[in-house]
Amino acid sequence: MLTYAIKRIGLGLLILTFVMVVMYTAVFLVPGDPASVALGPRATPELKKMLIERMGLDQPVWWQIVEFFRNALTGNLGYDVWSNRPVSTLVMEALPNTLVLGVTSLAAALLIGVPLGCLSVVRRGTAADAIIGVLSVGVIAVPSFVVAIYSLLLFAVTLRWLPAIGAGETGDLVSQAKALVMPALAIALGWIGYIARMVRASMMEVMGEPHIRTARSFGLPEWKIVSKYALRIAIIPTISLVAVGLGSILSSAVFVEAVFARPGIGRLVTDAVNTRNYPVVMGTVLIMTAIYVSITIAADLLIARLDPRVRDVFRD
Amino acid sequence: MSSVTEAPPSSLGRQRFAPLRALLADPFTGAALILVAGFLITAALAPWLAPYSPTKIDVLHKLQPPSAEHWFGTDHLGRDLLSRIVFGTRTALTIAMVSVVIAGAIGLLLGLIAGYGPRWLDALLVLTFDSLNSLPMIMFALAIITVLGAGTSTLIIVIAATSFPSYARLIRAQTLALKNSDYILAERLLDAGTVRIIFVHLLPNVVGPLIILLSMDIPVVIMVEAGLSFLGLGVRPPTPSWGSILYDGYTSIRSAPFMVIFGGFPLVLATLGFTFLGEGLRDYLDPRLKLRRPA
Amino acid sequence: MTGSLAARDLSVRYETLHGSVQALRHVDIEAHPGEVIGIVGESGCGKSTLVTALANLLPANARVEGSIVYHGVDLVNLDAHRRRLLRGDEIALVSQDPMTAFNPVLTIGDQLVDFQHHRKDLDRSQKKARIAAMLTRVGISDAEQRMKSYPHELSGGMRQRMAIAAALLTDPGLLIADEPTTALDVTMEAQIIHLLRELRREYNGIIIVVSHHLGVIAELCDRVYVMYAGEVVEGGEVDAIFHDAHHPYTRALLACDPARFPDRLERLPTIPGTLPNLTEPPAGCIYASRCERTLEPCRNVVPPCVKLSACHIARCHGVCG
Residue type, B34: I
- The helix (H) or strand (E) run that includes residue A142 is none
CA distance C302 to chain B (A): 22
Answer whether B213's CB lies under 8 Å from B170's CB: yes
| B209 pLDDT tier (thresholds 50, 70, 90) | confident
- Which chain C residues touch A213 with a CB distance below 8 Å? 57, 95
Q: Name the DSSP letter for residue B61.
A: G
High-pLDDT (> 70) share of chain B, %: 86
pLDDT given for residue B105 in this prediction = 92
Cα angle, residue C162 at apex, residues C121 and C50 outer, rounded to 5°: 90
| B206 pLDDT tier (thresholds 50, 70, 90) | confident
Q: In three state form, how does the secondary structure of C11-40 look?
A: EEEEEECCEEEEEEEEEEEEECCCCEEEEE
Res. B185: pLDDT tops 70: yes
pLDDT given for residue A3 in this prediction = 75
Phi/psi of residue B18, nearest 5 degrees: -70, 155
- The helix (H) or strand (E) run that includes residue C206 is strand C206-211
- Which chain A residues touch C89 with a CB distance below 8 Å? 219
Conformational region of residue B10, where left means phi above 0, alpha means psi within -120 to 50, and beta covers everything else? beta
Beta-carbon neighbour count of residue B82 at 10 Å? 19
High-pLDDT (> 90) share of chain C, %: 1
pLDDT given for residue A287 in this prediction = 84
- Which chain B residues touch C56 with a CB distance below 8 Å? 5
- What is the spatial distance between Cα A295 and Cα A293, in angstroms, rounded to a whole number? 5
Does B10 contact C84 at a Cβ distance shorter than 8 Å? no
- What is the spatial distance between Cα B58 and Cα B75, in angstroms, rounded to a whole number? 9
Answer whether A255's CB lies under 8 Å from B227's CB: yes
The CA distances from residue C168 to C90, C135, C202, C216, in Å, are 11, 10, 11, 20
C42-48: average pLDDT: 81
pLDDT digits (tens, 9 = 90+) for C227-260: 888 888 888 888 888 888 888 888 888 888 777 6
- The C-alpha torsion from B99 through B104 and B106 to B108, rounded to 10°, is 180
> Counting one residue from A and one from C, how many pairs have CB atoms under 8 Å apart?
80
> Quick check: bond before B238 cis, omega within 30?
yes
pLDDT digits (tens, 9 = 90+) for B95-125: 989 999 999 999 999 988 888 888 888 888 8
pLDDT given for residue B104 in this prediction = 92
Res. B13: pLDDT tops 70: no
Residue type, A77: L
Fold of B27-287: MetI-like fold (1.10.3720)
- What is the spatial distance between Cα B291 and Cα A199, in angstroms, rounded to a whole number? 12
- What is the spatial distance between Cα A268 and Cα A90, in angstroms, rounded to a whole number? 8
Does C63 contact B2 at a Cβ distance shorter than 8 Å? yes
pLDDT digits (tens, 9 = 90+) for C84-109: 878 878 888 887 777 788 888 888 88
pLDDT given for residue A27 in this prediction = 66
Res. B59: pLDDT tops 80: no
- Residue A26 CA to chain centroid, in angstroms? 24
Mutate to test the interface with A, among B126, B135, B218, B281 (most CBs of A within 10 A): B135
Q: In three state form, how does the secondary structure of C260-314 look?
A: HCCCCCCCCCCCCCCCCCCCCCCCCCCCHHHCCCCCHHHHCCCCCEEECCCCCEE
pLDDT given for residue A310 in this prediction = 64
Mutate to test the interface with A, among C79, C91, C103, C114 (most CBs of A within 10 A): C103
| B23 pLDDT tier (thresholds 50, 70, 90) | low
pLDDT digits (tens, 9 = 90+) for C138-159: 888 888 888 888 888 888 888 8
Domains and CATH numbers, chain C: 5-90+172-319 (3.40.50.300)
Res. B46: pLDDT tops 80: no
Does C63 contact B15 at a Cβ distance shorter than 8 Å? no
C165: nearest Cα among C210, C190, C130: C130
Does C59 contact B2 at a Cβ distance shorter than 8 Å? no
High-pLDDT (> 90) share of chain B, %: 3
- Tell me the domain boundaries of chain B: 27-287
C176-202: average pLDDT: 81
Phi/psi of residue B35, nearest 5 degrees: -60, -50
Helices (H), chain C: 47-54, 80-86, 108-115, 124-137, 143-147, 156-169, 186-202, 214-220, 238-243, 248-255
- What is the spatial distance between Cα B222 and Cα B56, in angstroms, rounded to a whole number? 25
pLDDT given for residue B98 in this prediction = 92
B6: nearest Cα among C16, C19, A125: A125
Answer whether C128's CB lies under 8 Å from C113's CB: yes
pLDDT given for residue B9 in this prediction = 35
Packing angle, helices B242-251 and B81-116, rounded to 10: 130
Beta-carbon neighbour count of residue C299 at 10 Å? 13
- The C-alpha torsion from A73 through A74 and A80 to A83, rounded to 10°, is 170
Beta-carbon neighbour count of residue B118 at 10 Å? 10
Q: How many CA atoms lie within 13 A of C83 on its CB side?
A: 23
- Residue in A215, A221, A306 nearest the CB of C103: A215
**Touching check for B255 and chain C: CB below 8 Å?**
no
pLDDT given for residue A309 in this prediction = 67
Instruction: Calculate the average pLDDT of chain C.
Output: 83
Spans in chain A with pLDDT lower than 50: 314-316
Does B143 contact A252 at a Cβ distance shorter than 8 Å? no
Does C58 contact B11 at a Cβ distance shorter than 8 Å? no
Answer whether A255's CB lies under 8 Å from A270's CB: no
Please report all neighbours of C, defined by 3+ CB atom pairs within 8 A: A, B
pLDDT, greater one: B282 or C101? C101
Does C87 contact A218 at a Cβ distance shorter than 8 Å? yes
pLDDT, greater one: C171 or B105? B105
- The C-alpha torsion from A184 through A187 and A189 to A193, rounded to 10°, is -130
**Touching check for C84 and chain B: CB below 8 Å?**
yes
Instruction: Calculate the average pLDDT of chain B.
Output: 77
pLDDT given for residue C43 in this prediction = 78
pLDDT digits (tens, 9 = 90+) for B222-259: 888 888 888 888 888 788 888 888 888 788 877 778 88
- Which chain A residues touch B7 with a CB distance below 8 Å? 124-125
